[in-house]
């Protein structure tokens, strides 16, 4: 770990972290502020939802969702939180080393007396700390919003903690997979399309997996590995899928490390 | 002691050539000129020495240590000025230089002031507002900031006005007098001629010549211009004569070999005017490229 690189990386991402954190805080807070209305009209809502074809409900992960309950409603909004977190983490993953290369500052950094492994580890930790700030904000705002708006309805704090704990594993997946893809393709010219592609791609796969009832797709996308409605319904993770998710993350990190140490830094051309 | 030792260093980018079997030594305290046209492999060689890229085969040592295994340690004593300077656009010059200095165990504030004064660099400006020449100045200050023992200069003068170029050369000479070894890559021969002790010429990825700059000029070729009555260009088509050109009754050619052969030939002519001089490096250089 090199403290200078860490500090530089952290600072350069700080504005983005603040924007993401504030947006997510607003999303959780204002979305959950609608809960009292839904809770009052629970019966009406269920009736209304029942009229939709099950495929459409599945696409939104709402087949076993009870919007009238605190955690049921929270699991519905959590899916959008996950989507935002996935975009943020993918962006950081894709940009981790590729921004430095596309803006041609990699020559500057790597001609300094630091090893490749120090560079990668420092950058990775800086990104991880950035993501953890956003994560912490989501935790705090979730607890606050639920405390403020749950009304008469009871909920299990344990389930909420379980759901929120999944965030860090979820973020690490996108950070690591983004990183490994950025090192596998020849050159990433712009980070955003890749980041959005990975996040929306996996989200859509998850939605389709609901529509088709296809088992195979479940294995590929973290939105299924950590499907909020399922976690709330069973009050537990789907352990094999979570292990699969962690395994993909670890393999991505290992391969990224191996690739980066052997990487030829592209020159100006 | 050799500061840089390259042994059959080869780099291919996929199938396209970078450099092939480059072997050379740079001794401590010398200014080594590395010349060749664009795309000959000059930058590739420097980037290999900084382990920004990895060799396909062969080995490279700096300060007696292998660049692949001891890269970080070696770079502690290296200053590098890339041919194209790119820095973090949002940063101020002073912050960039501080970030750069933070990698070395030195308090470089004083030196930063001195260097930027010499190069007339405004530390308070943003990198994104700087012109090409000013960025180059940032690169120069940045490369010299930590008082390195070895300097890699990759086409350092492009973008600098002649006045700045002179200041820069004075700076490099002063560093060299302190004992700093300089590896100077360029395609402009004039500046190499002014500064370097030895030169290596690279062409299409291969070293074609390494020699003392004086030897290169003196021992190799003479440039002869001759104006004489009743001469025939074909007369001078001797072994050792190249670039024979006749124009308005004046012959010019390069000659390598025993100069007496040419002198005897001239003896039989009614010579009006004759000059025999050392060719400029430029002319030698063109010769290698034919």
Beta bridge partners of B275: B225
Task: Report chain A residues whose CB lies below 8 A from the CB of B140.
Answer: none
Length of chain A: 269
Quick one: B21 and B156 in the same domain?
yes
B170 DSSP assignment:
H
> Is B48 exposed, middle or buried, given 0-12, 13-18 or 19+ CB atoms closer than 10 A?
buried
Q: Does A107 touch chain B (CB under 8 A)?
A: yes
Quick one: B173 and B262 in the same domain?
no
> Are A205 and A220 a contacting pair, CB within 8 Å?
yes
Task: Report chain A residues whose CB lies below 8 A from the CB of B81.
Answer: none
- Interatomic CA distance for residues A160 and A32, integer angstroms: 14
Residue B182: strand, helix, or coil: strand
- Interatomic CA distance for residues B38 and B50, integer angstroms: 20
Q: What is the pTM of this model?
A: 0.87
Quick one: B243 and B114 in the same domain?
no
Angle between helices B162-177 and B109-118 (to 10 degrees): 140
Which one has a higher pLDDT value, A25 or B194? A25
What pLDDT digit, counting tens, does each position of B213-251 carry? Answer: 777 766 667 788 888 877 777 777 778 787 788 887 788
The pLDDT of residue A213 is: 64
Asked if pLDDT for residue B255 goes beyond 90, the answer is no
Which one has a higher pLDDT value, A91 or B36? A91
Q: Does A117 touch chain B (CB under 8 A)?
A: no
Q: How many angstroms separate the first and last alpha carbons of chain B?
A: 35
Task: Report chain A residues whose CB lies below 8 A from the CB of B52.
Answer: 106-107, 110-111, 264-265, 267
Quick one: B88 and B225 in the same domain?
no
- Closest Cβ opposite residue A113 in set B13, B76, B84: B76
CATH number assigned to the domain comprising residue B243 = 3.30.70
What pLDDT digit, counting tens, does each position of B16-73 carry? Answer: 999 999 999 999 999 999 988 888 899 999 999 999 999 999 999 999 999 999 989 9
Quick one: B188 and B245 in the same domain?
no
Domain boundaries, chain A: 3-261
Quick one: B156 and B227 in the same domain?
no
Which residue of B63, B69, B101, B102 to mutate against A (max A Cβ within 10 Å)?
B102
For B89, name the nearest residue in chain A, comparing CA atoms only: A103
Cβ-defined contact of B87 to A107 (cutoff 8 Å): no
Domain total for chain B?
Answer: 2
Cβ-defined contact of B80 to A111 (cutoff 8 Å): yes
Quick one: B96 and B199 in the same domain?
yes
Asked if pLDDT for residue A68 goes beyond 90, the answer is no
- Interatomic CA distance for residues B216 and B195, integer angstroms: 15
Residue B286: strand, helix, or coil: helix
User: Could you give phi then psi for residue A135, rounded to 5 degrees?
Assistant: -55, -50
> Which domain covers residue B252, as residue numbers?
221-288
Residue with tokens 């100069």: B259
> Are A84 and A134 a contacting pair, CB within 8 Å?
no
B239 DSSP assignment:
T
Quick one: B254 and B191 in the same domain?
no
Asked if pLDDT for residue B290 goes beyond 70, the answer is no
Other Cβ atoms less than 10 A from the Cβ of A196: the count is 15
Other Cβ atoms less than 10 A from the Cβ of B290: the count is 6
CATH number assigned to the domain comprising residue B194 = 3.40.50.300
The pLDDT of residue B219 is: 62
Asked if pLDDT for residue A81 goes beyond 80, the answer is yes
What pLDDT digit, counting tens, does each position of B198-214 carry? Answer: 989 888 899 988 888 77
Task: Report chain A residues whose CB lies below 8 A from the CB of B72.
Answer: 113-115, 118
- Closest Cβ opposite residue B71 in set A12, A115, A264: A115
């Amino acid at each position: 770990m090199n403290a200078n690189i860490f500090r530089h990386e952290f600072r350069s991402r700080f504005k983005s972290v603040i924007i993401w954190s504030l947006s997510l805080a607003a999303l959780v807070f204002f979305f959950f502020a609608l809960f009292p209305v839904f809770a009052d009209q629970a019966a009406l809502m269920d009736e209304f939802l029942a009229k939709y074809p099950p495929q459409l409900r599945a696409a939104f992960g709402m087949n076993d969702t009870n919007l009238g309950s605190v955690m049921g409603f929270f699991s519905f909004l959590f899916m959008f939180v996950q989507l935002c977190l996935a975009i943020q983490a993918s962006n950081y993953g894709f940009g981790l080393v590729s921004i430095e290369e596309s803006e041609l500052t990699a020559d500057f950094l790597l001609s300094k007396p630091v090893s490749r492994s120090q560079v990668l580890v420092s950058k990775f930790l800086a990104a991880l700390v950035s993501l953890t700030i956003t994560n912490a904000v989501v935790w705090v705002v979730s607890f606050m919003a639920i405390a403020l708006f749950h009304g008469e309805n009871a909920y299990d704090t344990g389930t909420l903690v379980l759901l929120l704990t999944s965030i860090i594993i979820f973020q690490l997946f996108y950070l690591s997979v983004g990183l490994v893809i950025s090192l596998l393709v020849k050159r990433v010219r712009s980070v955003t399309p890749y980041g959005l592609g990975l996040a929306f791609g996996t989200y859509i796969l998850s939605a389709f997996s609901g529509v088709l009832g296809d088992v195979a797709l479940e294995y590929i996308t973290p939105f299924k590995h950590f499907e909020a409605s399922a976690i709330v319904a069973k009050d537990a993770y789907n352990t094999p899928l979570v292990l699969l998710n962690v395994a993909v993350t670890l393999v991505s990190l290992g391969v990224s490390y191996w690739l980066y140490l052997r990487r030829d830094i592209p020159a100006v051309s | 002691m050799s500061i840089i030792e390259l042994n059959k260093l080869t780099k291919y980018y996929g199938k396209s050539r970078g450099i092939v079997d480059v072997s050379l030594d740079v001794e401590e305290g010398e200014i080594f000129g590395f010349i060749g046209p664009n795309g000959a492999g000059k930058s590739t060689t420097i980037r290999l020495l900084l382990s920004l890229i990895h060799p396909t085969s062969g080995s490279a040592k700096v300060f007696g240590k292998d660049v692949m295994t001891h890269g970080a340690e070696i770079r502690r004593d290296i200053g590098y000025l890339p041919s194209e300077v790119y820095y973090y656009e949002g940063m101020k010059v002073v912050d960039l230089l501080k970030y750069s200095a933070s990698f070395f165990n030195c308090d470089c504030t004083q030196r930063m002031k001195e260097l930027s004064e010499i190069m007339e660099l405004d530390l308070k400006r943003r990198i994104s507002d700087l012109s090409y020449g000013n960025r180059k100045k940032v690169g120069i200050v940045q490369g010299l900031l930590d008082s390195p023992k070895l300097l890699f200069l990759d086409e350092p003068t492009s973008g600098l006005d002649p006045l700045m170029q002179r200041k820069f050369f004075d700076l490099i000479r002063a560093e060299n007098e302190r004992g700093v070894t300089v590896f100077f890559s360029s395609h402009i021969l004039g500046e190499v001629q002014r500064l370097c002790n030895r030169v290596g010429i690279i062409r299409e990825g291969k070293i074609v010549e390494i020699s003392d700059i004086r030897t290169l000029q003196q021992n190799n070729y003479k440039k002869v211009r001759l104006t004489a009555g009743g001469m025939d260009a074909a007369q001078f088509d001797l072994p050792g004569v190249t670039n024979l050109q006749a124009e308005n009754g004046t012959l010019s050619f390069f000659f390598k070999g025993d100069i007496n052969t040419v002198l005897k030939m001239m003896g039989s002519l009614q010579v009006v005017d004759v000059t025999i001089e050392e060719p400029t490096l430029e002319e030698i250089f063109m010769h290698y490229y034919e």
